[in-house]
Structure 1
């Protein structure tokens, strides 16, 4: 098994220049930061769960587990290595983080359980910090749906610009920052759309936010798909061994962003639209829960 060296700042972050289809399944990563983070999160979550789990909590637990699996596939599986050779694989990695891991984390609402499962010293440190963040101006701004939308869309466009994209492929630290910002801004955005009741916006506004995100994503994917020349120099010598020219690989990446991402946006938007209609009929603001996107609350809000 080939282990990725987290300290190679100036070399290819994924070592894609030496990867071939024959060696793909030996290219598993054991990044200690990612592995430790996932294991600690799982340990704290399991430790923080109550002895008696109701249906809603089990549903959330499955979402949390799915989010961890999605992150592991994106960052530890051979997909991480091949994304250093193919833009199309890199796009799959991005979508796993923003369209699967981020919304599943939001649906799982793990904050309270992670705090309960943390050691006592961590809990004592987190308490005052959470209170300051909740009352701080920056936290208040980040909770605003417009800010969350702008941050997520802006992050996606910025990292797909040639300079930053090539830097992320070639530099391990920049690559890690790219993934972190995708996941964090994704969580901020999805929290406003399908988060817990106290955090999410009305379903009608959620539909508009999703529509704006879908249009932005579609525009970027169209530019990639119908571009007449490759955008990214980092893949100039790595795609041919996979049977693709650099431009064809870029066009495939654009198609992957266009179709799967569009389907996710449409499905969630339709669910929110149904919830909105039902809410107007019964006079409530039921948002995503009425569409089944968020489990019906049982007991106190996590």
Structure 2
């Protein structure tokens, strides 16, 4: 790789060092991370299989849940295999283009997950606040349009940030990234050139996606709670509220981890780097790990089908 004044020009290979400061225990950190990944893949795959084969679950709520499960599997797969390669097999190198691809996939799937969570909130809003029109509004055609729109939104908003890095940043102080995966700012901060445009666009994308989705999710649930508490019968209120508990848990864990990681990374300069990186890793791994558990426990239809499968296996 050619160098100019100590900087590296367009490095073909980058090196991910993992978690700086915790290199000696990275092999042990990989164990709970791999358990979380296996749980995410198996749990979400089980939910996808149940939804696919049970005709009674071919409803908007469960179709959105299938979208969420697919996104979770893809998101965790984008990060963990390479991370375990660093932790366990000492394979830190990654091609520059592969690094950009990983970055694009991670942020795209994050944006898709946020969009699916918004769609799930709107589905619950219509189901509880306007139940007679729910089947008409959330038609199969609308579900397809929502899936396409959520995917296109993510791809269109994330792609320019990758192109800015590829086309505008040519010289890098080093080819070593102090992170366990190709995180946007971890790579951008290595550049010699002015990175303000990349920072500003990164903030724009984050607030455009997360800010927009959180506002409408919050408004949806405020209206849902108002409608639920106005129901005359206590049993009806409890039933309506129970259908939303799992969704609320998933929303909170996704967005609270996102903002905690974001603000710690941006404003926690006094916090050790390994804390930032561990939070970033958990932000990507915890939601895919917890989502199937939350829905498996709190969603009666999913819970019943899982128990039925377990009982059938024991009998067999």
Bin the TM-score by the shorter chain: 0.3 to 0.5
TM-score by length of 2: 0.38
Hey, which of these two has a bigger chunk of strand by percent?
2
